[in-house]
Each structure stands twice: as C-alpha cells, then as structure tokens.
C-alpha cells in the first residue's frame, strides 16, 4: 500500500502576508530574467515595444523592470534611439560563463596529446566568418616549418581542414559561397566526369573526406 502524502501544515494568518511577499519576490525575479533573456534573444538590443511583444508582457510592466535592470547595470539605454541593450554587468556575467565552458580550453590537453603521439603540427580550428580559423597551435620538436599560425584562416575548399568543415555543413556552407570559389570543371580531360551543379561539385570535392567518416554531412 502506498503511503499517503503528507499534507503541508496550514498557513497561519500571521504568516500569510510574508508568504505572499516571498512569492511576489520570486515572481519578480522570474519576470526580470524573462526580460533579460528576451533582450538577449533579440540580439542584445531592442525597443521597449519590440521587447514587450517578444516576451508577451505589457510595455508598462516591462518598463518597470527595465528601470531596475538599468540601475543594476544589467541593461543600458541609448539616448539617441531610446533602445535598450545589454549592459556592462550582463557582459561580465556572459564572460564569466564563457570562461567556465570554453571548448577551446577543454581541447588543449587533447591537442598536446595528439601532437606528442603523431609528432606533427596539430591545431584546433573553429568556423569563423571568413572560414575555418586556427585558434590553438602545437608544433613538434622536429625541424619542420608550417606556414600557419593562430589566427590563420584555412581555405574552405582547398584545405583538408576546410573540407572537414564543409563536409559537416554541405548545404549551409557551400550555397553561401561566391560562385568564383566553387570548384570548376577542368578545361581538358575530365570535364565530362565533373558534376554540373556547384553543390554537386562541392560534394565531389569533399567525398574523400566524408567517405571514410572524417566528416558527416548535416
């Protein structure tokens, strides 16, 4: 037989105002966090009307919370446009969170082990706005010079690193590239064997990377 659930003790009349006040404070914190998260989801900057519509609250109510957030430095307001944006204290919170979960920092130990095991130059790259960008770089003790450093951008189509990234995001990465950077069929020899469409040519270029499982298209 399941044991009956214990019923909470009744709230005494003297405790009722304090209970209501505590619930109001908790609800206020929830609403304040909703305002902050809504501002972040709108790109970190928005007007009062747009923010209120985004979180489905009245502009008057959102304004009251924004005043408190401005006083605490979590939100700031531009004098010219009257738009609200995330403030300095919000930036400090975000930077602290990034330091705790930096994937590049977490990859450093594995990068060193890989370089020691292979005795070749190894690096960690992430996709930047201009292409795969080297973030961490480890060189072996061998007298071999590699002409890349931290901050170097690798070609998306013409480097092994770029083809791994391209193989992982064929649809999004290839279609947004300028046509001049798409692989073109050669003038002689194997023109007839090359696919005609740019996306098919990108897929053919990345097939040696995706076929062994080095990258999985999404």
Model confidence pLDDT, tens digit, residues 28-61: 888 999 999 999 999 889 999 999 999 999 999 9
Count other Cβ atoms within 10 Å, centred on residue 50.
Answer: 15
Comparing 60-64, 95-99, 154-158, 200-204, which segment has the lowest mean pLDDT? 200-204
Average pLDDT estimate for 9-21: 57
Q: Which CATH architecture best describes the domain 17-93?
A: Orthogonal Bundle (1.10)
Supply the pTM of this predicted model: 0.44
Give how far Cα 102 sits from Cα of 11, 21, 86, Å. 47, 39, 21
Chain segment 169-218, per-residue pLDDT in tens:
655 555 455 454 555 555 444 444 555 555 666 666 666 666 665 555 54
Domains of the chain by residue range: 17-93, 101-154, 156-186+194-218
Percent above pLDDT 70 for the chain: 62
Instruction: Encode 99-131: b = buried (16+ Cβ within 10 Å), e = exposed.
Output: eeeeeeeeeeeebeeebeeeeeebbbbeeeeeb
- Two structure tokens written together for 194: 């090359």
């Amino acid at each position: 037989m399941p044991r009956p659930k214990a019923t909470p003790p009744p709230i005494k009349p003297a405790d009722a105002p304090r209970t209501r006040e505590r619930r109001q404070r908790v609800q206020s914190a929830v609403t304040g966090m909703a305002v902050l998260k809504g501002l972040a989801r709108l790109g970190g900057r928005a007007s009062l009307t747009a923010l209120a519509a985004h979180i489905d609250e009245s502009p008057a109510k959102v304004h009251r919370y924004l005043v408190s957030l401005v006083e605490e430095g979590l939100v700031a307001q531009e004098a010219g446009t009257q738009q609200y944006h995330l403030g300095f204290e919000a930036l400090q919170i975000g930077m602290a969170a990034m330091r705790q979960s930096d994937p590049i920092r977490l990859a450093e130990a594995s990068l060193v082990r890989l370089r020691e095991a292979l005795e070749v130059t190894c690096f960690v790259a992430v996709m930047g706005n201009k292409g795969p960008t080297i973030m961490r770089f480890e060189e072996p003790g061998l007298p071999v010079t590699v002409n890349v450093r931290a901050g170097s951008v690798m070609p998306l189509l013409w480097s092994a690193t770029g083809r791994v990234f391209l193989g992982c995001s064929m649809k999004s990465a290839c279609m947004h590239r300028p046509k001049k950077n798409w692989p073109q069929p050669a003038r002689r020899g194997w023109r007839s064997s090359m696919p005609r469409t740019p996306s098919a040519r990108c897929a053919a270029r990345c097939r040696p990377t995706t076929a062994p499982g080095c990258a999985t298209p999404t």
